[in-house]
Structure formats: C-alpha cells, structure tokens
Chains A and B, each alone.
Chain A
Amino acid sequence: MSQVLQRTSPTGTRTTKVIGALALLVMAWVVVSGLILTPQDVVQGESVRIMYVHVPSAWIAYLAFIFTAVASASWLISKKHSMGFDRFAGASAEVGVMFMAITLITGSLWGRLTWGEFWQWDPRLTTTAFLFVTYVGYLAVRRLEGSVEQRARRSAVVAMLAVLEIPLVHFSVVLWRSLHQGATVLNPNGDVKMDDLMLFTLFSGVVGFTLVFVWLVLHRQRTMLLVDIANRQGLDAAIAARQTESLVK
C-alpha cells in the first residue's frame, strides 16, 4: 500500500488521502451550494455568492499566519531547535499567502459588484494589502542565502512580528471608518444576521478550506524536508569529491 502511495505522491500517506477525499467532498458541496442552492441576498443579489469563497479564504489565511507564528516561537523556545517546526512555519506561510491572494482577488471582484469599485484604499483593504506584502517578504527571507538554522532563526523573528498585524486587520473596520462592512459572524456582540443556508454554506466553506489547508501543509512541509535532505546530500557529495581530489593530488 505504501509503495502505491509512493508512486502517486512521495509525500502522501493514508491520512493525507482521507483528508484529501474529505476536502474534495466538502469543496464540491460549497461550490454547488454557493453557486446554485443558496438564495440571493435582499440587497446584494447574486453577488453574495462570492462570500462563500472570500470569507473562508481570509479566515484560513489568518489561521495559517497564526500557525506560522506559533511554530516559529516553538522553534526559538525549544532546546533542540527541531527543524520540523521551521518547515511547518514555512509551509503554513506559503499556503497562507496563497489564501491571502485569493482573498484579495475575490474581494476586489465582490467589491466591483457591490461598492462599484475593484479597489479602494480604505482601512481594511490597506491593512490587508500590507499583511500580504509582509508575508511575501517573509517568504523572501526564507530564501536568503545561509544554513537551514540561519533560515529558521531569521524567519522566526519575522513571523512573530508579522502576526501582530492580524488583529489590526480584523479590527480595522471597528477602529477606523471603513468602506468594508463589519464582521458578520465574528462580530463583538455575537448576533449573526444571516439566512440559515447562507450561514451553513459559509461554515462548510470554512471546514472545506481548513481541510485543504491541512492537506497542503502536510505535503508542503514533507516536500521541504525532501529538498533539505537533497541539498545536504549534494553538499556532502561535493565535499567528498574535493576530499578525493586532494588525496589524488
């Protein structure tokens, strides 16, 4: 069985297969319900359907960046400095940046239909753009020259600073005057004003995107381990070749 899995994907296991299958099922439901079954909104009409991909992608991006910070802190605090923490942080940030990009693109499409504009530099959009740029910077820091330990230390510091932007983004609509609407589900008074099927589809989206996130992070961090091992083997082979050369001379 493991050999079959290895042929299809070297980073796959039974667990990832189950998570992947569940993610496909839930995402299929979200697409069908979001595009067909859910009703139109009384004010926004059909454009409300974009919410079922826009909102979950934003939440999962936040979640990914929080996981990156926690894993980074774990790497810094732990005595062994296990590189597993660093790889998890990197994988989570990569998936988070992808979800943040989805959030920005789907948000601008939704904005064009409701506000009448693709983009406006209001508090929510401005802080979200800054968050996205920060994490692109984090990924660039991870690719700077140096050992895996240097990579882990530099990026852990950046991750722990960057995560502080998330509360600023989330509460920007409360702290300042924003064109973006306030939170519907995560609002301070806890009173959710949303049609039942709309709410169920939105939560299905959160579950589906979470499964996709877990699946991608598991595969990505294992791929990072393979790349690190391959690089180390390449270095070891080069040193061995030089040693052989010097002996021959």
Chain B
Amino acid sequence: MKDAGFIFGSYIVTLGAILMFTFATLRRAKDSSQSVTEKDKTWL
C-alpha cells in the first residue's frame, strides 16, 4: 500500500488515543471508588 506509514499511523493514533483515555478513566474510577460506599454509586 502506498503511503502505508501515514495511513496506518492515523488509525494507530485514533485507536491509541481512545484506548489511553479508556484505561486512564477506568484506573481513576478504581482508585476513587475504594472510599465510596455502594449506596453512593447511583448507577448500580
């Protein structure tokens, strides 16, 4: 494929950014949830 570096690069940047945001959010949630009771987790 011509210009494969640019094309694959754009997909890697996209998926990489989404994955990084996902892991950062889930990690923050885990850290913060330890001191919070089940009652306060209104979505459960």
Q: Do chains A and B touch in the complex (CB under 8 A)?
A: yes
Q: Which 10 A-B pairs have the closest CB atoms?
A: A10-B33, A226-B32, A106-B10, A223-B29, A53-B14, A11-B29, A50-B10, A109-B6, A109-B10, A227-B32
Question: Which residues on the B side are within 8 Å of A109 (C-beta)?
Answer: 6-7, 9-10, 13
In angstroms, how far is the closest chain B Cβ from the Cβ of A70?
Answer: 21
Within residues 160 to 188 of chain A, which ones have a CB less than 8 A from any CB in chain B?
none
- Over the window 97-124 of chain A, the binary record of Cβ atoms lying under 8 Å from chain B Cβ atoms (1 yes, 0 no) is 0100110011001101100000000000
Interface size on A, residues (CB 8 A): 41
**B interface residues, Cβ below 8 angstroms from A:** 1-4, 6-11, 13-15, 17-18, 21-22, 25-26, 28-30, 32-33, 35-36, 40-44
Question: Which residues on the A side are within 8 Å of B13 (C-beta)?
Answer: 102, 105-106, 109
Given A95-B21, A105-B13, A110-B10: A9 touches B35 (CB 8 Å cut-off): no
Question: Which residues on the A side are within 8 Å of B1 (C-beta)?
Answer: 46
Q: Is the CB of A105 within 8 A of B10?
A: yes
Question: Which residues on the A side are within 8 Å of B4 (C-beta)?
Answer: 46
In angstroms, how far is the closest chain B Cβ from the Cβ of A61?
Answer: 12
In angstroms, how far is the closest chain A Cβ from the Cβ of B8?
Answer: 8
- Over the window 1-27 of chain A, the binary record of Cβ atoms lying under 8 Å from chain B Cβ atoms (1 yes, 0 no) is 010001001110100000000000001
Does A222 sit within 8 A of B, measured CB to CB? yes
In angstroms, how far is the closest chain B Cβ from the Cβ of A92?
Answer: 13
Q: Report the bound CA distance from A109 to B11 in whole Å.
A: 11
Question: Which residues on the A side are within 8 Å of B17 (C-beta)?
Answer: 98, 101-102
Of the candidates B2, B35, B44, the one whose C-beta lies within 8 Å of that of A46 is B2
Find the A residue at minimum CB distance from B35: A230
Question: Which residues on the B side are within 8 Å of A141 (C-beta)?
Answer: none
